[in-house]
Structure 1
């Protein structure tokens, strides 16, 4: 997705470039426990109609408009999403207390095109658990709020039946106040395409807390 954001920015109208966020993604999340003791987070991203249209135009997909990809078109789509830049973290943060846990490389990464919209899914294993007796806190966000991730519940637990999930919605009033403070009162629409937007994405993220009765 990261590469597409750069490519599609050139196609966006000036009014779209002046706004934050640019891309809206419905997000579903699952925490997966496997038999080996590994814990992973599965993310499902459903892109908005406008961004999906930009991607099809940029990559030359579905020129006949039948909402179906040929084998060659799917291969091109797969090629474009396989590699992430080294500085792209995948817009996912997993925390225990004040400790941000390292995440392993993504797995089972695939993209599909359904009814004119793009849908992406991948698995992010947690490389190291700091405390097996502490809850996990998960946040899906883009630090610079270029992409808005709208978490859709419920957050699913797979592989265990002794864990509960609590979702704390973001305080949007506080988030917008933070944006105003960091922009020194300037409206977000005044931030030009060549300016770096402040790292406010976390303030807009819902907080997912996973608590298990037994050690992780």
Structure 2
């Protein structure tokens, strides 16, 4: 995940026993997607919106010294200071956004155009992920957002918005959160068995891939699924 995100959440977890801290995700994000098509109808970018859970949002707001009166409203200067709080991505961080077609994975460029706001007790941030090469107009597409380390639990909401086309449709597969948790628990137990001491156990990370992840299946024009 993000360098800053891990550092902030870690400070709130230090008082927990290692297994308690590792037994579930530490951040919960509701994710929405917006598909952006160019003038020829090709998919050129995906806009990603992340709504962070209330606890994590409070940790960020407190760490940045925002909303000192606790009324849940940020003034202009405070909103300005919030911008880019989650933009400090590690070089190999993939943004936890995965696009695939029948031809395989779709390459995305790095993020840009970060924006953030704070409303109803939650930080809502937005960024843009351009495709390295626009997709053909009628390519069937699957989009997923998940964390293979299960540090963050993403919930994908749909349908997405379509900008630049009016002949696209999407079907949302909600996935199976129980499958993700079971895969994480099994992977964590296996990793802890290999740990040689408590210090190593505290640093255990796992990779469950896309187990249980939801998916948006998108078709446009004459494209078909299956």
TM bucket, shorter chain? 0.7 to 0.9
Deviation at 1:56, TM superposition (A): 1.5
Unaligned runs of 5+ in 2: 193-199
Q: Which residue of 2 aligns with 1:97?
A: 102
Deviations 1:145-164 (A, max 9, x none): 11111122222222212222
How many residue pairs were aligned? Answer: 212
Mapped contact 1:17–1:192 kept (Cα < 8 A): no
Alignment of 1:1-216 (within 5 A): 2=2, 3-12=4-13, 13-14=15-16, 17-35=21-39, 37-97=42-102, 99-129=104-134, 133-184=138-189, 193-196=202-205, 198-214=206-222
CA RMSD of aligned residues (A): 2.8
TM-score normalised by the chain length of structure 2: 0.80
Greater alpha carbon shift after TM alignment, 5-14 vs 135-144: 5-14
Mapped contact 1:180–1:186 kept (Cα < 8 A): no
Deviation at 1:72, TM superposition (A): 3.4
For 1:202 and 1:55, the matched residues in 2 are separated by: 27
Mapped contact 1:162–1:214 kept (Cα < 8 A): no
TM-score normalised by the chain length of structure 1: 0.83
Mapped contact 2:116–2:125 kept (Cα < 8 A): yes
For 2:155 and 2:210, the matched residues in 1 are separated by: 12
For 1:180 and 1:8, the matched residues in 2 are separated by: 21
SS at match of 1:42: strand
